[in-house]
Amino acid sequence: MANRAALPAPAGAIKNTESPLDKLLESLDESLQNSCSPLRCISCGNPVTTREECFSVDGQTDFHFVNPGGYKFDIRVYRNALGCYPRGDATDEQSWFPPYRWQYALCDQCDLHIGWFYKDDNGDSFWGLITALLTNS
């Protein structure tokens, strides 16, 4: 959490739940701190995306899911991921982000299954990439 909460509130201010402005400032802080930080495929070192492409879905950047096979995944969502590509037919079956349909996302250098590509009927899209398969070193 930001230190902002420790600042004295103006007289008469009522501590409210976090405002949209606070959230915006916090995400701005984060993207500035992390700008120009490539995230690389852990298998081949290909730059897959960058930290500043991280965004939030319903106020969340990180998700924990269990697929129908019982495998657990920690994923983070990114607006763009230029170093991977979608493969397979888009499906809404067991989608973690309905109404978005998903395809597998593979590293475009080594074809590692690195996450999923999500797209809705309006053309809005994002990537959900497996945290453990990306490295910033």
List contacts with Zn ion (CB under 5 A).
41, 43-44, 46, 107, 109-110, 112
Neighbour tally for 6: CB within 10 Å: 7
Structure tokens at 4: 């902002």
Q: How far is it, in rounded angstroms, from Cα 59 to Cα 56?
A: 5
Sheet-wide strand order for 62-66: 62-66, 72-78, 125-130, 113-119, 101-107, 84-91
Minimum distance from residue 85 beta carbon to Zn ion (Å): 11
Residue 107 vs 129, nearer CB to Zn ion: 107
Residue 75 vs 101, nearer CB to Zn ion: 75
Minimum distance from residue 48 beta carbon to Zn ion (Å): 7
Residue 77 vs 107, nearer CB to Zn ion: 107
Minimum distance from residue 92 beta carbon to Zn ion (Å): 27
